[in-house]
Structures are given as C-alpha cells and as structure tokens.
Amino acid sequence: MKKDNKFYLGLIFTVATVLMVYFMPRDSRHKFSYEANRPWSYSLLTAPFDITIYRDSATVKAMTDSVERTMVPIYRRDSDVGRRVIDAVAGADSLPAGVRRRLTSTLRELYGRGIVDQSTATLISRGSLPEVKFNENNVNVSYPTGSFVSQRDAYALLDSLNHDAEGRRVMQALGMSALLQPNIVEDKEATKQYHEALIQPIVAGIGVIQKGERIIAQGDIVTPQLYQILQNYESTLDRQSNNDRRRLGNILAGQTLFVMLLLGLLYVFVYMYYPRKLERPKEILVLMLLVVCFFVFTVALNRAFVSGVYLSPIAILPIMVSVFYDSRTAFFVFALETLLCSVTATFPMEFLFIELTAGTAVIFSLKELSRRSELLRSEAIGFAGYVVAYVAVELMTAGSLGSLSWRIIGFFGINAVLISFAYILILIFEKLFGMVSVVTLVELSDINNSVLRELSQECPGTFQHSMAVSNLATEAAHRIGANVQLVRAGALYHDIGKIDNPAFFTENQYGVNPHDALTPIQSARIITRHISDGLKRAEKAKLPGVIRDFITQHHGCGKAKYFYNTYCRQHPDEDVDEGMFSYPGPNPQTKEASLLMMADTVEAASRSLTDYSQEAIRGLVDRLIDAQVADGLHNDSPLSFRDIKEIKECFIQRLRSMYHARVSYPADVKRKEKSADEEKPSENENSDGQTKQ
C-alpha cells in the first residue's frame, strides 16, 4: 500500500473517531436505562445511603398549580400615605374653608375604606381577588376587598364635590391626581415568603429509604413514585462524583476506545475481504462518512425526542452500502452502526434486537435497487420487522401487550417512510464522490441511450458484438458472484471508440478491408487508438469512471497480435518494438474487467469457427484464456483459478447454445395434379375430406 494511502486512511479514521466521541452522550456511569410505567430490567437495587423520598413530578405540579390558583396575596395598609394627603389638603390656604372641610372629610372616609392601585382594582372588579391578607401580629388575617376603591374612583368622587370651575381649578393646582396615592399596597416580599411557605411542604421529602433498604427489584413496574426515587438516587450519585475529573477522563477514554475498536473492526473487515478498497481511500471515506452522519443524526433525534432513537432511519445505511458495495458489507456496516447508536438508547439490548431484526429484513428484501417498487417493498418489510420485534420484546419483558406504546409504533412508521429518502441520498453521494449505483447502471444499460444508439447506427457489427459480449459476460458474472449490472453496462460501452473508424474493424466490413492498403504498424495504430477515442467519447457523454475503466482495461496491455505477427513475418531479422503494437492499458484491475476481456476475445474469435462441436469450442476457450493468463494480463485482477475455471465452463455452455446445430428444413415438394378419379372422395371420406367414424 502506498504511503499516501496509509496517511489518508489514518486521517479518515482519526477524524471519524473524534467526531463520534465528541457527539457521544456523556451519561454518568451511575445511570440506568428505564422508563416510567415499564418493568425494571436490572437486578435488585438497594440504597447505598439514605435516600429522601419526594413526590413524583406530576403530583408536585398538580399541587403547585392548586396553590397558585388559591393563594391570597399579602397586602399592607400604609397609614402615612393618607395622613400626608390629608395634611396637604388641610394646609392649602388657597382653598376656601368650606372646600377644605369637604375634601378633608371625604379623604378621611376614602382612606379609611382603603384606596388601591388600578391593577388591584381590576382584579377586584373581575372577581379574581375577593379578599387579601394583612399581617397583624405575625398572623395573616383575611380581609374582604369589597370596600376598597381605586385611585380613579377616588379622584372622581373628589372631583364631584366641586361643581364650579373655580373648585376644579383649585384641585388641579393642588395636583390632586398625583397627590392621591393608594394606601392599600401589596407586600411583595411577604407574598413571596408566604408562597414559599406553601410550596415548601409540597417539594419537601415525604419519607426516607434507609441505607441498605430495597429500592426496586427486577421485574417491578417503575411507578411515577419509584421513577422519582430513582431520579433522586442518580442525581445524588452525580453530585457526589461531579468534581471527580479522573472519572470523567476515564469515561472519555472508554468512549474513545469503544469507537476506535468498532471502526477498527471495519478496517479489518475491509482488509480481509476487500483489500483493494484500502488502495482507494475515497471508498473508505464514503463508508466512514455514512457511519458518522447516521450516528450524529441518531444522537440529535434522541436528544430532541423521547425514544427518538427509533425515529432514526438507520435502515437507509445498509440500503446505500448494498447499492454501492454489496450485501455482506451492508450487513457488517449496519451491525457496527447499530452497536454505535445503542449507547444513546434507553434500553440498549432492546434497541439492538429491534434494529438488527428490521435492518436484516430490509437487506435480504433488497437484492438490487433497480426499481422503485423494490424500495417500497423494503419499507413495508422493514416496518413489519420493527413491529414484530417490538411486540416480541414487550411480551418477553412485560408478559403482556398492555404496555405497548403506540407512540413508538408511530415512530416505526415514520422511520419506514424516511427510508424512501435513500433515493435522494444515493443521488447526492453519486454526484459528490463519483460513486455508481445499480440504478445508474440500469439506466446506462438502456440501449436507447444516445451513445449506444449512435453505436448501433454507425457500427452495427460492433453493436451486435457488444450485445453478445454483454450476454456472455453477464452469465459468467452470475457464476462467480461478480457485479452483474456493472459487467452488463461495461460490456455495452467498451467498444464505443470504434465509432470514429468503423470500417477498420472486421465486424463492420462488407467485402472491402482498408487494412490492405496500410502497413501493419499503421493498422495497429488505428486499431489500438479505439481505446483513446472511446475515452474521449465517454468523457463527452459524462460516463462514470467505472465505465471508462472497462474501455481502458478490456485489452489491458496486450498486443494487436494479428498485425504484430504479420510484421514479425515480414521482418524476421529485425528486433520488433512491441510498444508500437500494444494497447495503452492498464491491465484489468477488477473481476468485472477481467471477465469483459475474456468475453470480448472469446466472442470475437468464436465467429471465425467452422466447427462448433463441444471439443472445438472448449479448445478455443481454453487456448484464448490460458494465453491471456500466461501473458500476465490478469495478474492485477482478484480472479482466482476457481473463478477462471467457472468462467471457462460458462463460456463453453453459452457458445454451444449460441452455435448449436439446427435441423435443416426440407424444401417444399410440388404435388402432382390429381386425375378426376383421384379427386373424388373415397368411400371412407365425406365431401369435406373428413374420415367417417
């Protein structure tokens, strides 16, 4: 492996690990996974210290709301305000004596009843404040509010005592509207203390679980009361270890090791089964990006919603991996992703079982994503897998279906619908990373494609050859487990470079061979140039890189042997430069490219056979493929000897069926005209020529 590849693989691994550890939840090691009204799945839990028992949150909220609705605020009577106002009016020499007496008397009466601010008066008028409390000798005494008057009403009453303009002018001169202040005001501090006094018994403990006493046993239902006790137990443990930096560091180290082990297993899997992928860091980057993105998305959903982990469409991951790679890789990556996401679940084992059941069902239901109906079928199967696995877990843990959560089942439904977004994600990854999915390969295999249509029009012989090679290679791909759709598409496009010079290739010639007027070197140059011409057309048509690889590799670094041998015979004493007769290469790098090279050579050579017996066909196939192997053309391919044997047998069977002997149809025999006697029906036949019964 190149040093650059090792560096990129290490960088991808490091970045993926850092991102996943950063987003991983930092739950305390003391916390358990449990939910209210569900069975306790752990063993007997006893109190390691005295635990105060509090009311559950729902009860506390209900009692607190009741206090808020019924609590009467604390007010106080400010006698200084009334005295100050009355003294100001009594000392006003500008007022006539009679007016002063009337105003002073009225003010004493009003302040005796009590003047309140406008907001308090509004509450009284609405009936929301029928009484208030006054603190008298440290005792809160209730007092009705019916006699209180507002500042506005008090001023209106004073104003009504002065009927003439002079009296109103004097009132304004005194600044009565500003002078008239309420003497019944809320004591906010006393009200706050009173409120706290009412709330304190509600939120205070109502009992104690002593050290060593049972909290909950396995199988017990987590009631709201027990839920509150467990919450208090965990928060107490957290407070005790909140400043333990060493423990927090250990948690971070454990999470880092957990992620590194799982991602390392992915590298080991690729190294064992697909070592060539390690030479292409982009493919590893795609796998890591998928794993990290789905993990972060799952963590975000679980933080946003209760049991939100079941909203995450993790089943999209194996769909995408199977589309770009294969089912074995899809299952391994999916299992790894499920293990990573289990750290965010409330019940990790339940989550693992449900996700693995549904995801495996999706993987096996989706052979190849070539039709939209297949994705819809996978969605339905995935939803069924979720529900059945969830029901199994509930029956196993609770012993009944009474605790089934329709909310969770609704999450499964949303999850199944989100799987349809796999199409969009596949398209995005194709554009971003140049990946090719089965969907794209199916589209490319349509012979109405503009490039293939031009090939059929300009080079009909080459087009028929490409179709035959496609059928031959596809059958062999089935046998050895290669990518069938990729081989089919690559075979159809491998010779598009011949469009520029169709007459120089045997399958398109009709009696006239232009090579007769050329030297072997010139002919070889034209023949080998169809590789570079094909690449130009592929780039113009924006064909994917994997299709271009078939164009460059289907002859590898082999030679145009006919013209090479001709030149050698013409120049027996000359050292021949083989480069003038060689294709640019490279040699096949994949099983699919090797298949195409074999099928291309065998199909073309089979057209020159005169004897189509099994022995002749077997001899042709063995000779051509063994020659390629001997020349080292397949040294860079992962094909095994067993694969080559299977390919040979497949080619022999297919060629025999293509060239099997047909029954010769006899020529029509002219019938002699019958005589008059012969035309008469016999005694055993009626006039319609039918035999009598």
335-370, pLDDT tens digit by residue?
999 999 998 887 888 899 999 999 999 888 876 666
Phi, psi at residue 231, to the nearest 5°? -60, -45
**pLDDT tens sequence across 616-646:** 999 999 999 999 999 999 999 999 999 999 9
Q: Does residue 688 carry a pLDDT above 60?
A: no
SS3 category, 552: helix
Residues near 483 by beta carbon (within 8 Å), at least 6 away in sequence: 326, 477, 591, 592
Tell me how far apart the alpha carbons of residues 359 and 424 are, in angstroms, rounded to a whole number: 19
Query: CA-CA distances (angstroms) from residue 397 to 220, 348, 357?
Result: 11, 14, 17
Structure-block tokens of residue 231: 């919450």
The CA–CA distances, whole Å, from 411 to 290, 308, 397 equal 22, 8, 20
Instruction: Please spell the DSSP secondary structure of 157-183, one letter per residue.
Output: HHHHT--SHHHHHHHHHHTHHHH---S
Mean per-residue pLDDT for 301-305?
86
Q: How far apart are CA 84 and CA 174, in angstroms?
A: 13
pLDDT at 493 over 70: yes
Is residue 329 classed as helix, strand or coil in its secondary structure?
Answer: helix
Of residues 434 and 518, the one with the higher pLDDT is 518
Average pLDDT over residues 589-618: 92
pLDDT digits (tens, 9 = 90+) for 559-585: 998 899 999 999 888 888 888 999 998
CA distances for 437 relative to 331, 334, 370, 425, 440, angstroms: 17, 18, 9, 11, 5
Would you state the pLDDT for residue 609?
86
Are 67 and 202 contacting, i.e. CB atoms less than 8 angstroms apart?
Answer: yes
Q: How confident is the model at residue 431 (pLDDT cuts 50, 70, 90)?
A: confident
Mean pLDDT of 645-672: 74
pLDDT in tens, 275-295: 878 888 888 999 999 999 999
Two tokens at 282? Answer: 């982009």
Domain covering 439-658: architecture: Orthogonal Bundle (1.10)
Residue 654 tokens, joined: 């297919």
Q: Average pLDDT over the chain, rounded to whole?
A: 85
How far apart (Å, rounded) are the C-alpha atoms in residues 284 and 395?
A: 41
**What integer pLDDT is reported at residue 246 of this predicted model?**
73
In the chain, what is the straight-line distance between the N-terminal and C-terminal CA atoms, in Å?
A: 88
The yes-or-no verdict on residue 167 having pLDDT over 70 is no
Contacts of 478 (CB under 8 A, 6+ apart): 484
Q: Lowest mean pLDDT of 127-131, 256-260, 434-438, name the range.
A: 434-438
Task: Select, from the ranges 12-16, 120-124, 154-158, the one with the highest average predicted confidence (pLDDT).
Answer: 12-16
Ranking 115-124, 164-173, 374-383, 592-601 by mean pLDDT, the lowest is 164-173
pLDDT in tens, 399-426: 777 778 888 899 999 988 888 888 888 8
| The one-letter amino acid at 672 | K
Instruction: Summarize the confidence of residues 69-76 as an average pLDDT.
Output: 89
CB 36 within 8 A of CB 403: no
pTM for the full model?
0.62
C-alpha span between 633 and 554 (Å, rounded): 10
* Angstrom distance (rounded) from CA 188 to CA 598: 94
pLDDT-wise least confident of 51-60, 507-516, 587-596, 681-690: 681-690
Going by pLDDT thresholds of 50, 70 and 90, the confidence category of residue 679 is very low
Domain ranges of the chain: 3-24+247-433, 68-200, 439-658
Handedness of CA 490, 491, 494, 496 (dihedral sign): negative
> What is the C-alpha separation between 82 and 294, in angstroms, rounded?
72
**Dihedral sign of CA atoms 408, 409, 414, 415 in order:** positive
Three state DSSP letters for 637-677: CCCCHHHHHHHHHHHHHHHHHHCCCCCCCCCCCCCCCCCHH
Distance CA 449, CA 464 (A): 15
